[in-house]
Amino acid sequence: MAQSSGSRPPAPGSSSRLAGLAQLLRSHSGFADVVGSLEEGHGATIGGTWGSSSALAAIGVTADGKRSVLGCSVSRSEAETHWREFLQSLQERGLYGVKLVVSDNHAGLKAARHATMPGIPWQRCQFHTSQNAMAHIPKMAMRVDVADDIRRIYNAEDRAEADRRLKDMVGRYHKTAPALASWLEENIPEALTVFAFPAAHRKRLRTNNGLERLNKEIKRRTRVATLFPNEASVLRLVSAVLSEISDDWETERSYLNMKAR
Task: Please tell me what DSSP assigns to residue 15.
Answer: T
- Cβ neighbour number for residue 254 with a 10 Å cutoff: 13
Higher pLDDT, 246 or 17: 246
- Cβ neighbour number for residue 260 with a 10 Å cutoff: 11
Q: Is the pLDDT of residue 33 over 70?
A: no
Higher pLDDT, 167 or 222: 167
Per-residue confidence at 1, pLDDT binned at 50, 70, 90?
very low
Q: What are phi and psi of 87, to 5 degrees?
A: -65, -40
Q: Is the pLDDT of residue 216 over 90?
A: no
How are beta strands 32-46 and 101-103 bridged, if at all? unpaired
Per-residue confidence at 197, pLDDT binned at 50, 70, 90?
very high
What is the reported pLDDT for 32? 40
Per-residue pLDDT tens for 71-88? 888 877 778 899 999 999
Across 12-36, average pLDDT: 40
Task: Please tell me what DSSP assigns to residue 2.
Answer: B
Per-residue pLDDT tens for 176-185? 999 999 999 9
**pTM of the entire predicted model:** 0.78
What distance, in Å, lies between the first and last C-alpha atoms of the chain?
14
> What percent of the chain is predicted at pLDDT more than 70?
79
Tell me, what amino acid is at 221? R
List beta partners, residue 8. none
List beta partners, residue 181. none
Q: Is the pLDDT of residue 5 over 90?
A: no
Q: Is the pLDDT of residue 50 over 80?
A: no
Q: Is the pLDDT of residue 25 over 90?
A: no
Higher pLDDT, 12 or 196: 196
- Of 198, 195, 199, 35, nearest in space to 105 by CA: 35
Tell me, what amino acid is at 254? S
C-alpha distances in Å from residue 69, one per residue of 17, 64, 96, 171: 13, 15, 15, 42
Per-residue confidence at 51, pLDDT binned at 50, 70, 90?
low
Across 94-101, average pLDDT: 86
What is the reported pLDDT for 65? 87
- Of 82, 75, 41, 20, nearest in space to 230 by CA: 75
Q: Give the separation between CA 75 and CA 91, rounded to whole angstroms.
A: 19
Per-residue confidence at 26, pLDDT binned at 50, 70, 90?
very low
Per-residue pLDDT tens for 225-244? 667 767 788 888 888 888 89
Q: Determine the 3-state secondary structure of 55 from DSSP.
A: strand
Q: Give the separation between CA 59 and CA 254, rounded to whole angstroms.
A: 14
